[in-house]
């Protein structure tokens, strides 16, 4: 089963919701893994614009949101999802991982949108927590903004637990940040054993350079036969 995934830190749609939608739609994703997904109303509007179903953090009064989101295009369906808040995250900018189970016909997958912290020790703790969530027999797809380059400890830990899709199918340069002139690969997609990576690219057009401060990562995956 083919699965096209886009990983995108959209900076709260501050550079224009319609622009982000045009960038995303050009790749016709089955799954969008978003970071900094903005307010709930804007996120729902974005989902309607791109024709996808959205799973986001549940309502939590008196707590700041963890703004990761998973969007799925029919016939893929989100059948369940949950938010994991990383322990010890900053009160005013909590971090976490949104885990969603997607189903299509006899295929299913667990997809995760995550966003790690800004400081090295914090990122490593977050990566360790995230690795502890990743279990089970379903294919796993994990994407997000790690805020660090591949040789650093948090990214290396996740590369040991899963497979860095860029190393398996990366096409040309993999730098994603800052968008106008990327110099660092800090946005990632990881996959579990059994998922074939056909191709991975970073959007290189002019609109992708202005839709956010990150460029999106786009991957063509082949899920293992199931059922």
What CATH number is given to the structural domain containing 145?
3.60.10.10
| pLDDT tens digits, 49-64 | 999 999 998 777 767 8
Q: Which DSSP symbol is given to 163?
A: E
What is residue 172's predicted lDDT score, i.e. its pLDDT?
Answer: 73
The answer to whether residue 227 is domain-embedded is: no
Mean pLDDT of 5-23: 96
State pTM to two decimals.
Answer: 0.96
Mean pLDDT of 169-184: 90
Structural domain count, the chain:
1
Q: Is there a contact between 136 and 110 (Cβ–Cβ < 8 Å)? A: yes
Average pLDDT over all residues of the chain: 93
What is residue 89's predicted lDDT score, i.e. its pLDDT?
Answer: 64
Instruction: Tell me how crowded residue 48 is: count the other CB atoms within 10 A of its CB.
Output: 11
Pairing of strands 163-164, 77-85: unpaired
The answer to whether residue 89 is domain-embedded is: yes
Determine the structural domain holding residue 84 and report its residue range: 2-222
Model confidence at 227, in pLDDT bands (50, 70, 90)? low
Mean pLDDT of 26-34: 97
The answer to whether residue 193 is domain-embedded is: yes
Q: From edge to edge, which strands make up the β-sheet containing 69-72?
A: 53-56, 69-72, 31-35, 2-9, 217-222, 196-202
Model confidence at 38, in pLDDT bands (50, 70, 90)? very high
Model confidence at 7, in pLDDT bands (50, 70, 90)? very high
| pLDDT tens digits, 74-133 | 999 999 999 999 987 666 789 999 999 999 998 899 999 999 999 999 999 999 999 999
């Amino acid at each position: 089963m083919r699965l096209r995934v886009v990983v995108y830190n959209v900076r709260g749609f501050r550079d224009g919701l319609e622009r982000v939608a045009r960038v995303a739609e050009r790749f016709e994703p089955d799954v969008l893994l978003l970071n900094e997904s903005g307010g709930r109303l804007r996120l729902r509007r974005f989902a309607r614009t791109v024709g996808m179903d959205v799973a986001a953090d549940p309502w939590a009064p008196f707590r700041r949101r963890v703004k990761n989101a998973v969007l799925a295009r029919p016939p893929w369906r989100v059948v369940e999802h949950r938010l994991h808040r990383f322990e010890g995250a900053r009160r005013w900018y909590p971090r976490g991982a949104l885990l969603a189970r997607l189903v299509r016909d006899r295929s299913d997958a667990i997809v995760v949108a995550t966003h790690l912290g800004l400081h090295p020790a914090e990122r490593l703790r977050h990566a360790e927590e995230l690795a502890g969530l990743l279990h089970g027999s379903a294919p796993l797809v994990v994407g997000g903004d790690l805020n660090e380059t591949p040789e650093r400890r948090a990214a290396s830990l996740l590369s040991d637990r899963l497979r860095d899709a860029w190393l398996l199918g990366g096409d040309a340069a993999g730098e994603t940040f800052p968008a106008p002139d990327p110099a660092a690969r800090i946005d990632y997609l990881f996959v579990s054993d059994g998922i074939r990576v056909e191709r991975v690219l970073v959007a290189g057009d002019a609109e992708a350079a202005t839709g956010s401060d990150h460029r999106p990562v786009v991957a063509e995956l082949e899920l293992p036969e199931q059922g």
